[in-house]
Structure 1
Amino acid sequence: MDRTKYEYIGNLSQLFHVENYRMEGGKKDGVRVTNVQNETGLNFTVAADRCMDITHLSFKGVNISYINPSGIVAPEYYDRTGLNWLKSFTAGFVTTCGLDNVGNPCEDGEELGLHGRIGNTPADEYNVSIIREEEDNKVEITGIMGESFIFGAKLRLKRKITSFQEKNRLILEDEIVNEGFTEQEYMQLYHCNIGYPFLSPDCEIIIPSDEVKGANPYSQENIEKWNMVEEPSHVGEMCFLHQLRKSGDECRVGMFNNKEKIGFTLSFDGKELERFLQWRYLNKGEYVVGLEPATNYAGGKKNERETDRILKLNPGETKHHRLQFDFYDSREAFDEAMKAFGCL
């Protein structure tokens, strides 16, 4: 790190701004959030009261995240029945789905709503720390979300989000622990939602896949559209299932906007997150593409158990998930990052 720049500033926040606050007004009232802005153009918000998910994110002044019409909604408005999860679905750059269900609502010994409860769970032991290091200062945001109740699951999700002062990198790390004394099923999906102005017809979707298929008949009929980004219309919702190419155990996908000249890659462990879904909904006023690493496809717990599989945690067992987002302001740097996966 070049320390001569510190001769020009009075406070580190001029270069690396980290702020905690509570939101006011409407259904977002009282939600705890942390905003981080680094010195090279990465700006994002973590919602402590919504599973520490990442809501707004921009790079070089260009918004990348998609925000649902409902905006940020406090967890007390969550309704777990049926499809009512959508009424408090912020979307944002990352929404966590699980741990009791991923995908369709279903009856499985209990009523399980769309995409589970965890995304509407506030963080306990929430902490934000700036760590000063010789190479690059960083911020670490940590917290714990519980999904435990008597006669039921005893699951804990411990999350750490790391970002840097100079490096345009964002790391999300999860530990999922079975704190109970019986074997426990769990499901998890990371709903990464990309929106305008980054998402536009100038944007390329690059997903190195060995196989792509539609998640339903309508998506299969439109399989040729999986990597197209068109103008807003009324073509409807599509979902594609990818068999991703790997480098070792690592998977990587990316998007680049040739007009804005910025892009990002998402890298994750394809051994732990073996399923990958791509959501496409390019309708007027609801213009979004989702990139979704997951433990399961999104048919709902009962369907996935019958048609695919459900992961299980032994008593005391821990699973680790890691997502890394890197942001680029040149096509050359982006292409170099993607070459290892045989897609360029």
Structure 2
Amino acid sequence: MNPYIGNESQLYGIEEHRLSGGRGDGMRLLEVNNGKGLELTVSLDRAADISRLRFQGINMSYFSPCGYVAPAYYDSVGSNWLNSFTAGFLTTCGLQAVGTPCVDEGEELPLHGSIGNTPAGHSYWTREEGCLVIKAVVEDEVIFGRKLRLNRELRISLEENSFVITDTIENTGARKEPIEILYHMNMGYPLLDEDSEVVIPAESIVPRDGHAAGDIENCLKMEKPQAGYVERCYYHKFKDADGRASIYQPKLGCGLEIAFDAEKLDGFVEWKMMGIRDYVLGLECGNCYPDGRDIMRKTGMLKFLEPGGKAEYQVKVNIFQR
């Protein structure tokens, strides 16, 4: 033990808090500090997603106008998912659906699925050599239907400003199930503004629609907030498994890089939204595109898990300075 301190929380640690008041009343939050300048807030009642990310006191992520919203307020009809889209640094989309609401083989599917509005039924944290570790189990299971379980581990380094998300999705049912997951990672001001430098070293870029195609040459160029801005999405395809995307803010001298296996997470999306107060850049790796599960089935991109099967996905986030 360090003889200069009474408690290790003087240097680093995790504290659990509960929100009071508003639509987030009662939500459990883990406030994480690695002692090197990295701070993150883990929302246990929202799939152990990351609602806030800060570095040396600087906000790195986007926090939407609706703020914290408890799962009790989740509305699965159509696109009403947006009414509880806190965004934060990470909102997990899936597991039964990602993207556009649709009907797939007779099943009506909402925008981005329900996992991001599902509380962790079991969670704990511990300290291991050189890192803080948070583990959570989120069950996406219903009678007469899908039985999928998300086992999430967040490993936060105490030696550098980075953390790793490792998710194991398990099919606990007796039938073959489709699985979709999208790591909806949302960059926000002041990391994000018109001077931000975005790098996505992909082999090819495909605009999601005609509106995005009309401005594809500026897809990596950020702009000032604009009234009436219509979102633009671009699908970046990597040459091999080395998937990466970064954003750097020269005025702050710091940036953030996301690294992932682009063969497992083969559906990377850049979501560019330069609206007033709706000002966010999504750097989103997933195992599908957000076009609806029916479209993914038709294109052959939809993934499946056999009964008892497991799929593991991992994303590393690194904060860097120049």
The TM-score range, normalised by the shorter chain, is over 0.9
SS in 2 for 1:141: strand
- Give runs of aligned pairs for residues 294-333 of structure 1, distance below 5 A: 294-330=286-322
Distance in 2 (alpha carbons) for counterparts of 1:212 and 1:268: 18
Distance in 1 (alpha carbons) for counterparts of 2:50 and 2:301: 28
Q: After TM superposition, where is structure 1 displaced by more than 6 Å over at least 4 residues in a row?
A: none
SS in 1 for 2:23: helix
Does residue 202 in structure 1 map to residue 195 in structure 2? yes
- Give runs of aligned pairs for residues 7-46 of structure 1, distance below 5 A: 7-46=3-42
SS in 1 for 2:81: helix
Distance in 1 (alpha carbons) for counterparts of 2:239 and 2:45: 35
1:301-320 Cα distance to aligned partner (Å, 9 max, x none): 11221234210111111000
CA root-mean-square deviation: 1.2
Among candidates 237, 245, 257, match of residue 265 of structure 1: 257
Distance in 2 (alpha carbons) for counterparts of 1:202 and 1:274: 29
CA contact (8 A) 1:102 1:297 kept: yes
Does residue 156 in structure 1 map to residue 149 in structure 2? yes
The structure that is helix-richer by fraction is 1
TM-score normalised by length of structure 2: 0.97
Among candidates 115, 120, 124, match of residue 123 of structure 1: 120
Please tell me the residue identity of whatever aligns with 1:204.
Answer: E
Please tell me the residue identity of whatever aligns with 2:87.
Answer: A
Distance in 2 (alpha carbons) for counterparts of 1:238 and 1:164: 34
CA contact (8 A) 1:232 1:283 kept: yes
1:192-223 Cα distance to aligned partner (Å, 9 max, x none): 00000110122111000111121011001110
Please tell me the residue identity of whatever aligns with 1:104.
Answer: T
Among candidates 205, 217, 242, match of residue 236 of structure 2: 242
Once the 2 structures are TM-superposed, how far is the Cα of residue 10 of structure 1 from its aligned partner? Answer: 2.1
Overall identity of the aligned pairs, in %: 39
CA contact (8 A) 2:202 2:239 kept: yes
Once the 2 structures are TM-superposed, how far is the Cα of residue 232 of structure 1 from its aligned partner? Answer: 0.8
Once the 2 structures are TM-superposed, how far is the Cα of residue 8 of structure 1 from its aligned partner? Answer: 2.9
Distance in 1 (alpha carbons) for counterparts of 2:34 and 2:292: 39
Does residue 189 in structure 1 map to residue 185 in structure 2? no
Does residue 103 in structure 1 map to residue 99 in structure 2? yes
Aligned to 1:141: 134
1:230-287 Cα distance to aligned partner (Å, 9 max, x none): 11113321000111243xx231111111110001111111121011000000111111
Aligned to 2:66: 70
Q: Give ranges in structure 1 of 5+ residues lacking alignment.
A: 331-344
Aligned to 2:76: 80
SS in 2 for 1:273: coil
Aligned to 1:335: none
CA contact (8 A) 1:43 1:58 kept: yes
SS in 2 for 1:306: helix
Distance in 2 (alpha carbons) for counterparts of 1:150 and 1:201: 48
- Give runs of aligned pairs for residues 218-297 of structure 1, distance below 5 A: 218-234=211-227, 235-246=229-240, 249-297=241-289
SS in 1 for 2:61: coil
Q: Give ranges in structure 2 of 5+ residues lacking alignment.
A: none
Distance in 2 (alpha carbons) for counterparts of 1:244 and 1:63: 29
Please tell me the residue identity of whatever aligns with 2:39.
Answer: N
Distance in 2 (alpha carbons) for counterparts of 1:271 and 1:227: 23
Aligned to 1:113: 110
Distance in 1 (alpha carbons) for counterparts of 2:306 and 2:108: 24
Please tell me the residue identity of whatever aligns with 2:143.
Answer: I
CA contact (8 A) 2:13 2:132 kept: no
Once the 2 structures are TM-superposed, how far is the Cα of residue 130 of structure 1 from its aligned partner? Answer: 2.1
Does residue 168 in structure 1 map to residue 164 in structure 2? no
Distance in 1 (alpha carbons) for counterparts of 2:274 and 2:113: 25
Once the 2 structures are TM-superposed, how far is the Cα of residue 124 of structure 1 from its aligned partner? Answer: 1.4
CA contact (8 A) 1:207 1:244 kept: no
Please tell me the residue identity of whatever aligns with 1:48.
Answer: L
Please tell me the residue identity of whatever aligns with 1:188.
Answer: I
Among candidates 52, 55, 58, match of residue 59 of structure 1: 55
CA 1:308–1:217 in structure 2 vs 1: closer, same or farther (change >3 Å)? farther
Aligned to 1:217: 210
